[in-house]
Amino acid sequence: MAMRSRGLYMSCLRVICWMVNNFATIKFFFAKFVKNVAKRFFKLAMLPVFCFLCLCPAECSDNVMVFFLTDGRRVECPVGTEVNDISIAPGLRASVVRVHIPSNVIILGARFTGFTNLESVDIEEGSNLEVIGKGVFKGCKQLSSITLENAPNLQTIRDTAFSHCSALREINIENVRTIGCGAFMCSALEYVLLGPTVESIGNAAFATCHNLQNVTILAAPQHLGVTIFAQSGVQSIFYEGVFVDVFRHFFQRGRRNDCRIIFEEGENRRVFQYHNGALEEVPYLPDEPRNEEVPHDVVEPPVDPVAIPLQEPQNEEVQRWWFSTPWQVVTGGGIIVAGVAAWIIYRWDRQ
């Protein structure tokens, strides 16, 4: 037994001595083996990994405004808290159908001039947007959707910001404080609700809105412009405040459409009916609802569901090619580690 243990010990000692004497040879063959394995790994793994990284989208990072084109392409432009210029080629503006505005934007002052096919504006949820500047979306006749409900801090919509947006049928401006002159002139709005935070409504803010039927103003603004609803099709106005000069602030004399106007201050309510150019006070019904209490299926005209085109979701998360998903982090880290190992082997082989 002792002889066997001694023989095993001597054999191990001989192997160690041989490895010490032939260390250079062992290093050469080991380096060659590792190098071949690394080459095979890169040849077999690089292509699928590259495809995986490119074809697996991730969430869009902040501070980037994204423009989606009609041919499926998109253009990304970094932006700050105040946007006064749009850094996109003029030749591409007519091809933009959707815009994503990141949450860091506070003042949107850049005019979307030339965006003739812009259909929707996606404001990132929880946005810090406070101001929409003068004439920003003026003349965007295809614009039909903008997610202002994702901007709870929005306070000001300046002059002509959405004027001549002839496809814009609805918009959430309930919490806005200031609406500029002609802000929604010649738009396709059907219903307007201004909450108790409203402080100023500019001249002709909703003028020439032929589809406008019902208006609810839940506060008496400090500044009330003139002919706010001039040449519009409004049929019912609820105004929570004292009686004001209808022909000065709401619409001009001689309008053709009849209109019912309700003024309410506390428990006092006065109802006026406009008909054939004359304004007459009429008794009100105690159970007569406010405009905001009327169901939408009564306010809105019937729509044929077959004629409604299919649209992609407007609130979907904008995507970008980036290392942010777990699988992309793992594969990207593996490529980096393999590259470092190959560089170390290369340097070791040259010594």
Please tell me the predicted confidence (pLDDT) of residue 48: 54
Q: Report pTM.
A: 0.66
Q: Which residues of the chain have pLDDT under 50?
A: 52-61, 293-324
Token pair in block for residue 319: 């995507």
Span between the terminal Cα atoms of the chain, in Å = 46
* Residue 150: C-alpha distances to residues 7, 130, 136, 145 (Å): 81, 11, 18, 13
pLDDT the model gives residue 7: 63
**Contacts of residue 123, Cβ cutoff 8 Å, sequence gap at least 6:** 101, 129, 146, 147, 148, 150, 151
Cα atoms in the 13 Å half-sphere on the side-chain side of 322: 9
Token code pair at residue 231: 């040449």
Q: What is the pLDDT of residues 197-216, one digit of tens each?
A: 999 999 999 999 999 999 99
Contact 248, 265 (CB under 8 A): no
Say if CB 190 and CB 168 are below 8 A apart.
Answer: no
Nearest CA to 330 out of 53, 54, 57, 60 is that of 53
- DSSP code for 226: S
**49 vs 332: CA distance, rounded Å:** 8
- Residue in 59, 64, 119, 62 with CA at minimum distance from that of residue 87: 64
Give the pLDDT score at 124. 92
CB 49 within 8 A of CB 331: yes
**What pLDDT score does 91 carry?**
85
What integer pLDDT is reported at residue 301 of this predicted model? Answer: 42
